[in-house]
């Protein structure tokens, strides 16, 4: 009962802030809203000054920023689903900055000393002020006793507690939404919240980020033009991560990159190829590849930072992905369709030819565009929209990949606006397929897809096992029947929160 009260209170506060910022219901739809919602909005806006929001387009963004870290994360989730929250709002959320005021240096030093069990003076000869501060952590530049310059990332004080509370409220709202509304049930918000919780657990343990850096370093040690900062394990703990300082040019600063004489086209290729290599070859990829997390070092090497969010793909997922990309490149829609059936992603009750026809309807208009306008990420986005209509279970790991692909392509295109993404990516896809399954020609002669061949005895047990493992894990987390989870379903959480707030107000007013 106490939980219900505190969760409701927190949600009520969230609803209040959203309403105060005009973020709950767009001003032009206000008159169509039910009366309790209109009353709530009026109450929330009592005494509000117009300066609350910085412009007509960022009400939701301002409100979420004000509500704090977990809501910022939620907003980042929702930004990728215009089909759920509308194009305008998704666009608004895209500019949701993950930048907050820094916490005090003294506090940062205290956390480092507590976590590493030594006074600062025994760890660093110099410990500078924060150079960047975001919702979860901030970064300081420091020099070790051995004279190495390092970046020290420190979790915000009490951030775990805050996330814990907010996630509990989200879960509560999700349960209510599932119980109260048909739409809420279909969107399965509880499994989405469970996923958000799982991903936050990793992000809030910097040892996991250190391990991710180390794993990517090992996987990519022979990759051309790409590296990650080295981890200083002796100065890292749950709340502190120390890595080699990269003295480079931020990827966002294209004019300086150009002025320094770097080959921007080659860099754009490296961005795409590194991402695809990690996803397809290694099955472990950086899932937050925006410009702010990329630096170019003085040798022109692309350095990726910030491994708080990563994605994993099973052997089966990787085969599947390679097949899809290759299928679209060769415009072999039947093959792409067959792959979905072979992988068990689309149920046998569906018709493979009709599915292939739907794939052609997405593929042809896109593949017919000039090469510099084709986006793999968008293609896959549309693919998932169609697969859903054919009752394909949502595959969260593939959704994360698709989202990252769109971001990665955006970064590459800022470096080279005429980039042909297929051309940049094809060598990686082809190389992997060839290495995995022998010469392409042989397979084409065999007349089947790689998946079908694989099915003849290669990897199917592993694929099935993976599928079982993922399903089991997710159903443990969601604590319900075997879920079809996907991140975008978090959208329903917001809807649930709003519904609750409206109900509460209705009760008060009665
Ligand atoms: N090893 C590093 N070398 C140089 N700058 C770094 C390093 N690590 C982080 N930074 C700087 O700090 C910023 C924030 O670090 P990041 O790991 O991305 O944290 P967050 O999760 O808060 O985004 C980066 O955008 C970059 O400017
Ligand atoms: Mg970052």
- pLDDT tens string 314-370: 988 888 887 887 788 788 999 999 989 988 888 889 999 999 999 999 999 888 888
Q: Sorting pLDDT into bands at 50, 70 and 90, what band is 23?
A: low
Ligand 2 centroid from CA 357, angstroms:
41
Note the ligand closest to the C-alpha atom of 135. 1
258: in domain:
no
Domain shared by 86 and 122, yes or no: no
149 in the same domain as 69: no
Q: How far apart are CA 314 and CA 279, in angstroms?
A: 10
Which residue's CA is the nearest one to ligand 1's atom 8?
Answer: 151
Q: Do the beta carbons of residue 324 and residue 339 sit within 8 Å?
A: yes
> Which two three-digit tokens encode residue 176?
């209510």
**Ligand 1 mutation target, pool 100, 133, 151, 246, most atoms within 8 A of CB:** 151
Is 152 found in the same domain as 211? Answer: yes
The range of the structural domain enclosing residue 27 comes to 2-97+163-188+489-509
Which backbone phi and psi does 96 adopt, to 5 degrees? -60, 105
| Ligand 1 close to Cβ of residue 306 (< 6 A) | yes
Res. 469 pLDDT band, cuts 50 70 90: very low
Q: Report how many domains make up the chain.
A: 3
pLDDT at 458 over 80: no
Lowest mean pLDDT among 1-10, 81-90, 111-120, 444-453: 444-453
Quick check: is 196 in a domain? no
Alpha helices per DSSP H over 220-278: 254-259, 264-276
Inform me whether the pLDDT recorded for 203 exceeds 50. Answer: yes
Please choose, from the candidates 384, 267, 269, 398, the residue with its C-alpha nearest in 3D space to the C-alpha of residue 322.
Answer: 398
Q: How far apart are CA 266 and CA 271, in angstroms?
A: 9
How far apart are the C-alpha atoms of 501 and 508, rounded to whole Å? 11
Nearest atom of ligand 1 to the alpha carbon of 209: 17
Ligand nearest to the CA of 227: 1
Return the pLDDT at 510: 34
Candidate list 223, 288, 306, 342, residue with the active-site label = 288
Q: Based on the fold, state whether residues 404 and 364 are members of the same structural domain.
A: yes
Nearest to 242, CA basis, from 291, 199, 209: 209
Pair 473, 339 in one domain: yes
- Asked whether residue 229 is domain-assigned, the answer is yes
Structure-token match 């005090």, residue found: 104
CATH code, domain with 104: 3.30.200.20
Q: Is 73 in the pocket of ligand 1 (CB under 6 A)?
A: no
DSSP, res 308 = S
Tell me how many degrees the CA angle 402-207-313 measures, rounded to the nearest 5.
25
Q: How far is residue 121's CA from residue 296's CA, in Å, rounded to a whole number?
A: 31
Q: What is the pTM of this model?
A: 0.77
Atom of ligand 1 nearest to the CA of 139: 12
The residue to mutate among 132, 227, 242, having the most atoms of ligand 1 within 8 angstroms of its beta carbon, is 132
Residue 314 shares a structural domain with residue 429: yes
Cα–ligand 1 centroid distance for 260 (angstroms): 22
Residue range 267-281: mean pLDDT, rounded:
95
Is 232's C-beta closer than 6 angstroms to any atom of ligand 1? no
pLDDT digits (tens, 9 = 90+) for 400-443: 898 899 889 989 999 999 998 888 887 887 777 777 655 544 44
What's residue 376's pLDDT?
83
Residue whose Cα lies nearest atom 19 of ligand 1: it is 306
Question: Probe ligand 1: pick from 135, 139, 217, max atoms within 8 Å of CB?
Answer: 139
Strands 294-296 and 249-250: antiparallel
User: Given a cut of 90, is residue 76 above it in pLDDT?
Assistant: no
452 part of a folded domain: yes
Secondary structure letter of residue 231 according to DSSP: B
The percentage of the chain sitting over the pLDDT mark of 90, rounded to a whole number, equals 38
Listed residues 245, 260, 280: the one ending a domain: 245
| CA proximity to 497, closest of 40, 88, 158 | 40
Owner of token pair 């295109």: 413
Residue with CA nearest ligand 1 atom 21: 306
- Please compute the mean of the pLDDT values over residues 478-505 and round it to a whole number: 39
| 108, 236, 305: residue to mutate for ligand 1 pocket, most atoms within 8 A of CB | 305
Task: Calculate how far, in angstroms, residue 292's C-alpha sits from the geometric centre of ligand 2.
Answer: 6
pLDDT at position 491, please? 38
Q: Is residue 279 part of a domain?
A: no
Cα gap 160→155, rounded to integer Å: 9
Q: Which residue has the higher pLDDT, 267 or 495?
A: 267
Q: Which position has the higher pLDDT, 88 or 49?
A: 88
Tokens 């008060």, residue located: 508
Q: What does the alpha-carbon distance between residue 100 and residue 62 come to, in Å, rounded to a whole number?
A: 12
341 and 375 share a domain?
yes
Residue 485 backbone phi and psi in degrees, to 5 = -80, 155
Integer Cα distance of 333 and 357 in angstroms:
7
Residue 281 lies in a domain: no
Identify whether residues 83 and 52 lie together within a single domain: yes
Kindly state if the Cβ of 252 falls inside 6 Å of ligand 1.
no
Asked if the structure places residue 104 within a domain, the reply is yes
Q: Examine the domain organization and report whether 240 and 108 are in the same domain.
A: yes
The answer to whether residues 314 and 360 belong to one domain is yes
Residues facing residue 311 across a β-bridge: 285
**Ligand 1 pocket, residue 229 CB under 6 Å:** yes
Structural contact between residues 123 and 80, judged by C-beta atoms closer than 8 angstroms: no
CA distance linking residue 250 with residue 235, whole number of Å = 25
288 is catalytic: yes
134 CB less than 6 Å from ligand 1? Answer: yes
Ligand 1 centroid, distance to 350 Cα (angstroms)? 47
Closest by alpha carbon to 71, among 166, 176, 137?
Answer: 166
Q: What are phi and psi of 186, to 5 degrees?
A: -60, -35
Cβ of residue 100 lying under 6 Å from some atom of ligand 1: no
> Which ranges constitute the DSSP H helices of 123-238?
159-180, 182-187, 189-203, 206-219
Cβ of residue 212 lying under 6 Å from some atom of ligand 1? no
Angle formed by the axes of helices 87-94 and 69-78, to 10°?
130
pLDDT at 60: 80
Nearest CA-CA partner of 318 in 362, 279, 288: 279
For the CA of 135, the closest atom of ligand 1 is: 22
Angle, helices 189-203 vs 159-180, to 10°: value is 170
For ligand 1, whether the C-beta of 292 sits within 6 Å is: yes
Higher pLDDT, 116 or 57: 116
Q: pLDDT confidence of 58, banded at 50, 70, 90?
A: low
Whether residues 368 and 451 share a domain: the answer is: yes
Please identify, by atom number, the ligand 1 atom nearest to the C-alpha of residue 308. Answer: 21
- Give a yes or no: residue 222 inside a domain: yes
Residues 339 and 471 in one domain: yes
Q: How far apart are CA 467 and CA 398, in angstroms?
A: 13
Q: What is the atom index within ligand 1 of the atom nearest the CA of 133?
A: 22
């Amino acid at each position: 009962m106490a939980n219900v009260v505190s969760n409701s209170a927190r949600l009520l506060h969230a609803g209040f802030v959203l309403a105060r910022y005009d973020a709950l219901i767009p001003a032009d739809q206000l008159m169509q809203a039910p009366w309790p919602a209109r009353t709530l909005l009026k109450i929330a806006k009592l005494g509000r000054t117009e300066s609350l929001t910085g412009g007509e387009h960022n009400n939701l963004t301002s409100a979420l920023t004000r509500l704090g870290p977990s809501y910022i994360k939620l907003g980042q989730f929702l930004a990728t689903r215009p089909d759920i929250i509308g194009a305008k709002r998704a666009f608004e959320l895209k500019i949701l900055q993950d930048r907050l005021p820094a916490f005090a240096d003294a506090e940062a030093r205290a956390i480092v000393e507590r976590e590493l069990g030594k006074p600062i003076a025994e760890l660093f000869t110099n410990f500078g002020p924060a150079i960047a501060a975001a919702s979860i952590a901030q970064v300081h530049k420091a020099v070790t006793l051995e004279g190495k310059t390092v970046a020290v990332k420190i979790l915000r004080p009490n951030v775990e507690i805050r996330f814990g509370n907010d996630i509990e409220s989200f879960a509560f709202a999700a349960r209510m939404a599932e119980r109260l509304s048909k739409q809420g049930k279909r969107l399965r918000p509880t499994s989405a919240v469970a996923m958000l919780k799982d991903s936050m657990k990793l992000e809030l343990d910097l040892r996991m980020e250190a391990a991710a850096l180390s794993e990517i370093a090992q996987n990519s040690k022979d990759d051309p033009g790409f590296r990650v900062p080295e981890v200083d394990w002796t100065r890292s703990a749950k709340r502190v991560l120390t890595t080699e300082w990269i003295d480079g040019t931020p990827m966002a600063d294209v004019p300086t990159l150009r002025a320094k004489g770097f080959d921007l086209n080659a860099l754009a290729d490296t961005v795409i190829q590194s991402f695809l290599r990690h996803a397809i070859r290694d099955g472990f990829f950086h899932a937050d590849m925006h410009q702010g997390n990329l630096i170019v070092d003085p040798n022109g090497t692309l350095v990726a930072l910030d491994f708080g969010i990563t994605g994993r793909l099973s052997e089966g997922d990787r085969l599947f992905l390679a097949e899809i990309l290759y299928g679209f490149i060769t415009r072999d829609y039947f093959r792409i369709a067959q792959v979905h059936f072979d992988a068990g992603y689309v149920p046998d009750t569906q018709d493979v030819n009709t599915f292939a026809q739907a794939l052609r309807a997405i593929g042809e208009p896109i593949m017919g565009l000039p090469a510099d306008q084709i986006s793999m990420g968008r293609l896959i986005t549309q693919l998932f929209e169609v697969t859903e209509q054919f009752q394909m279970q949502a595959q969260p790991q593939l959704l994360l990949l698709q989202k990252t692909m769109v971001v990665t392509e955006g970064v590459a295109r800022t470096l080279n606006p005429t980039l042909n993404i297929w051309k940049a990516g094809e060598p990686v896809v082809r190389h992997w397929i060839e290495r995995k399954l022998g010469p392409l020609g042989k397979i084409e002669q065999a007349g089947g897809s790689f998946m079908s061949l694989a099915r003849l005895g290669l990897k199917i047990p592993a694929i099935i096992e993976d599928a079982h493992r993922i399903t089991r894990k997710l159903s443990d987390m969601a604590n319900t029947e075997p879920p079809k989870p996907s991140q975008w379903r978090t959208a329903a959480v917001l809807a649930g929160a709003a519904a609750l707030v409206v109900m509460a107000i209705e009760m008060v007013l009665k």
